[in-house]
Amino acid sequence: MSGRRTIAVAAFTVVTVAVIYLSVRSGSPTSTVPWIPKFLANWFDAHDVLKNLVGFFMLGITGMAALGGERPLIRPWRLAAVLMLFVVCLELAQLKIPNRVADIRDVQAGWAAILLAWGVHTAFVWMAALRRAPNG
């Protein structure tokens, strides 16, 4: 595995763990999470749906970087589909967690973020291919 992919896999792992932790913890505000800067946590608490958009975009873009690229380990559209299913699973898990509720808007924000990450990743892959193409 190349050094760049190793870093991307590490980032994807960290983001995945953070998304799972933030999704399945009890309903206390984000501002109580010690490793999130206060200004960001307060913004997240005030913008719940956008919090999901940011988190799942980070999950999608790091996943695409880790597993996609020139020689993808998984096709980016398949990874997007798996991550969209993951969004639904995390939201359904909240039905069993005290002080949490499942919200379709959170699923929609998660799906939008994953699709946006897929689009950004695809654009970067195409741009890289165009730069490498011989001028002729």
> Does 1 score more than 70 pLDDT?
no
- pLDDT on residue 65: 92
Prediction pTM value: 0.90
> Does 83 score more than 70 pLDDT?
yes
Structure confidence by residue, pLDDT tens digits, 55-74? 999 999 999 999 987 677 88
Tokens 């695809």, located at residue: 122
For the chain, give every domain's residue range.
Answer: 3-132
Helix (H) or strand (E) holding 67: helix 48-67
> Does 92 score more than 80 pLDDT?
yes
CA atoms within 13 A on the CB side of 91: 19
CA atoms within 13 A on the CB side of 13: 6
Structure confidence by residue, pLDDT tens digits, 7-33? 999 999 999 999 999 999 887 789 899
* Mean pLDDT value of segment 44-56: 93
Amino acid at 29: P
